Chain A
């Protein structure tokens, strides 16, 4: 029985700051993606539309209002998260070292259902995914600014390949984020003991 040692003995694997910014970010991304799909539908650059039922805003003006309100939440929360991660050493401890070979190995092992998931420690595949999605969000924000202000921020728009290319960069950044979310949410709900610590911060008692 480990119950005697009590809850205090359980290790905090997700600090409060990370938990708060994680869920604020989850809400902001949810709003940005669903309102973004509605904005996309107003003039789709690719040959398909998102089902209206899976979008946010009701019509273009509503979707834009959501998008340009939630962008502040996404950017400010993301900035706080990055600052905390860099200053506190969270990124260094959790994301380094990065190893492509290690990530490939871990993915193969995970596909056979044999990956050991130690609470509080990211495997090589996780590290690569988390760094990847952080970069995707940064690219989404930068390409979004390039579309929003192609005159005032024209150097950034030029860096993104011009207005029309920036629209497509913005789309693919969204696609990368959504692809990450499918894997991330899929694993979070299917691997035992992964979801609760993101609320409580504590790893489940060892069994």
Chain B
């Protein structure tokens, strides 16, 4: 009947989809994370939730300002390593994803020049470094572990990632997902770890950065993406502080 209108609608469809997605995310946050935050049983605790959420965003900015890219986390000796290292995930140990290393390919997306997937042997051919550092869990406990792999900075440079972008995100085989700020991603102790004590800690690829709490160290990574749109995370979307720096 009115073709021009149909044409124009088709033109803005991607934008509409984006707006819808944003709205959905926002609602998810306000209904999910916000109502969980205060723990109040009051019906009208929206104001308290909003205040706590705003303070958490403020604390993100304070922590980003406090982050010194040259400050290295303390390192320890082999003798200090905690054994057995605690297993911690949002599911039980028996439910870890089993991934075949031969077929494994690391996918790349977002603001990356070379999106070619990476096999494990290709990742192992890159320069490796190791660290013995303390992992601090958001629950309060800590444990010292050893991790070895590729510096994330080196990898991001290698794939032609936009290093001026704001976020690096991780999608995992266990349906976990998280994201970190670019300065933390470029920190010299931030590793894409290939070697660690046991497969249950994230085989074949996990993130290890001692400058953030344990839950920011994604395990069983299947995809890495670079973006300027806030990607959130599994626990972050439920109300945990996003930056969670150490």
Contact = CB atoms under 8 A, between A and B. Distances in A.
B40 interface: yes
A179 to B, nearest CB: 22
A150 B74 CA distance: 9
B137 A61 contact: no
Contact of A69 (B33, B51, B74, B238): B51
A155 to B, nearest CB: 10
Given A62-B36, A62-B39, A152-B66, A69 B52 contact: yes
Interface size class of A (residues with CB under 8 A): 20 to 34
A68 B53 CA distance: 11
A151 B211 contact: yes
A59 B33 CA distance: 12
B128 interface: no
B140 interface: yes
Identify whether the interface residues of A are mostly helix, strand, loop, or mixed: helix
Contact of B134 (A57, A62, A72, A150): A150
Interface string A28-66: 000000000001101101000000000011111111111
Interface residues of B, number: 36
A149 B141 contact: no
Contact of A45 (B138, B140, B246): B140
Given A43-B139, A69-B51, A152-B66, A62 B246 contact: no
A61 B66 contact: no
A58 B238 CA distance: 13
A68 to B, nearest CB: 5
Contacts of A94: none
Interface in A65-114: 65-66, 68-69, 72
A50 to B, nearest CB: 13
B130 interface: no
A60 B138 contact: yes
B71 A64 contact: no
